Amino acid sequence: MTTEPLTDPTTDPAHPASSRETTEGRVYTVTGGDWDDFLDESSDSERVVINLGPQHPSTHGVLRLVLELEGETVTQARSVIGYLHTGIEKNTEYRTWTQGVTFVTRMDYLAPLYNEAAYCLGVEKLLGVEAPTRAQTFRIMLMELNRISSHLVFLATGAMELGASTGMTYGFRDREEVLHLLEFLTGLRMNHAFIRPGGVAQDLPENYREKVLEFIKVMDKRLPDYAKLFSGQPIWKQRLKDVGYLPLDGCLQLGVTGPILRSAGVAWDLRKIEPYCGYENFDFEVPTSTDADCYARFLLRVDEIHESLKIIRQCLDAFEPGPVMVDDPKIAWPAKLSIGPDGMGNSLEHVRKIMGQSMESLIHHFKLVTEGFDVPPGQVYSPVESPRGELGYHLVSDGGTRPMRVHVREPSFVNLQAFPAMAEGGLVADVIAAVASIDPVMGGVDR
């Protein structure tokens, strides 16, 4: 069920999501502004202003939405952020380059391995080194597993918010399969700190191939259930079709990336456009649509899960014998270590080994762990294609053992700017579907 908007956002110049034609094409203007000014301006007696969040189960974490309503129609909308601010970017300036991994992995906590990979690729660019081929392939497999788990959370939470509780149980059930596998491969379910500058913390465990193939078999069996449960469901279709519409020109004006941009018809995926970690050697498709609505974004993410499984299969055949950390004792921490109970590689077995070698090796290990390694002065930008779009790290080094500056181009933060353009002129019930289709993670937005 849809209603005509009270104002036409494409022609009304006072509308926050208005647009105009220029010689360069259509230009969208989302005026935004402070939400408290917006509250002061909303004095129309016919309209009511409501707060949705920051403690509301349908706003994907501590996101606050300020909505101006006329009846059931949203006339203006603002998103209010900052309730989950952790200062992670600033904290990295007080830690060594390796310790920074344990901070950035906690930003987008549904896709921690992407933060680790993008950050480490940036550090490696500054160092002028490249992780070994085996480590690169391992990174790709971990990231694609992480993409699957993130998209399953999107399906589960989106379904729950729209009343499809069976979809929620399916999504979280299958996400557990991914997290169990990630725990087997890295030692932790989330916030792994496993991808390190120069490679990964440790090599693949025994029987990894059997475990991964078993997971693929389970997912191949269960994924068709999502098509039966959602795609063939008329109520689900009616709730998402033609809702949260954001066309291509709007996406480009707002800097939107990821499944939202691909739902508007552009096959923009950094794994294909600017390959990293050896993605150019893998065969996979970039699903797209031209419908540019919530339903298209849902279908695309399901298709992306299939493509990720295809990449993971290829990873199993692409693993080459060799090291998983650069062969440079001044960088490679924790190189050649077995992981201890603290998850940081200080196992008793390794401590006995270095103490038995020489006092010099013990001192070197101590200095490498406590002080870290020097990174040449310079700045780089290293982007990866996260489940939500372009996740990029701008790293600045002044030549020391700690970053001078770490700044993140976080896709949830950028994509959330599109929320007013999706929601204004529609029904208040469709606000929930629009936010769910953006799939924001507030840990990344507020960082």
pLDDT digits (tens, 9 = 90+) for 237-275: 888 898 989 999 889 999 999 999 999 999 999 999 999
The Cα 406–Cα 88 span in angstroms is 9
Kindly report the length of the chain: 447
pLDDT in tens, 44-87: 567 888 888 788 777 777 889 898 888 888 888 888 888 888 89
Helix or strand (DSSP H, E) at 444:
helix 442-446
* pLDDT of res. 426: 87
Helix or strand (DSSP H, E) at 314:
helix 294-318
How far the first Cα of the chain sits from its last, in Å, is 38
Q: Is 60 left (phi over 0), alpha (psi -120 to 50) or beta?
A: left
The Cα 270–Cα 429 span in angstroms is 34
pLDDT, average across residues 136-153: 95
Q: Which among 55, 115, 154 is positioned nearest to 438, based on CA atoms?
A: 154
The pLDDT of residue 189 is above 60: yes
Of 32-46, 71-85, 92-106, 284-298, the least confident: 32-46
Of 121-135, 350-364, 408-422, the least confident: 350-364
SS3 192: coil
Whether this prediction's pTM lies above 0.75 is answered by: yes
* Cβ within 8 Å of residue 304, ≥6 positions away: 147, 151, 259, 287, 387
The Cα 30–Cα 15 span in angstroms is 8
The Cα 104–Cα 90 span in angstroms is 11
Quote helix, strand, coil % in the chain, to nearest 5: 45, 15, 40
* SS3 readout for 33-100: CCHHHHHHHCCCCCCEEEEECCCCCCCCCCCEEEEEEECCEEEEEEEECCCCCCCHHHHHHHCCCCCH
pLDDT, average across residues 153-162: 89
Helix or strand (DSSP H, E) at 379:
strand 378-386
- Structure token pair of residue 55: 């403690």
Residue indicated by tokens 């904290």: 91
Amino acid type, 244: G
- Show the domains of the chain with their CATH numbers: 88-326+374-419 (1.10.645.10)
pLDDT, average across residues 294-308: 93
Residue indicated by tokens 């830690």: 95
The Cα 138–Cα 319 span in angstroms is 8
- Structure token pair of residue 318: 């692409």
C-alpha to C-alpha distances, 393 to 188, 199, 264, 350, 407, nearest whole angstrom: 24, 17, 26, 33, 6
Residue that wins the pLDDT comparison between 441 and 336:
441
CA 355 to chain CA centroid, nearest Å: 41
Of 70-74, 361-365, 441-445, the least confident: 361-365
Q: CB–CB of 261/411 below 8 Å? A: no
Strand partners, 333: none
How confident is the prediction for the chain on average, in pLDDT? 85
The pLDDT of residue 183 is above 60: yes
* pLDDT of res. 340: 52
* pLDDT of res. 48: 86
- Structure token pair of residue 15: 């509308």
Q: What is the rounded radius of gyration, in angstroms, for the C-alpha atoms of the chain?
A: 23
Provide the 10 A C-beta neighbour count for residue 281: 13
The Cα 131–Cα 136 span in angstroms is 6
DSSP letter assigned to residue 277: T
The pLDDT of residue 319 is above 80: yes
The Cα 297–Cα 294 span in angstroms is 5
- Structure token pair of residue 375: 């990174």
SS3 194: coil
b/e code 259-280 from CB counts within 10 Å (16+ = b): bbbbbbbeebbbbeeeebbebe
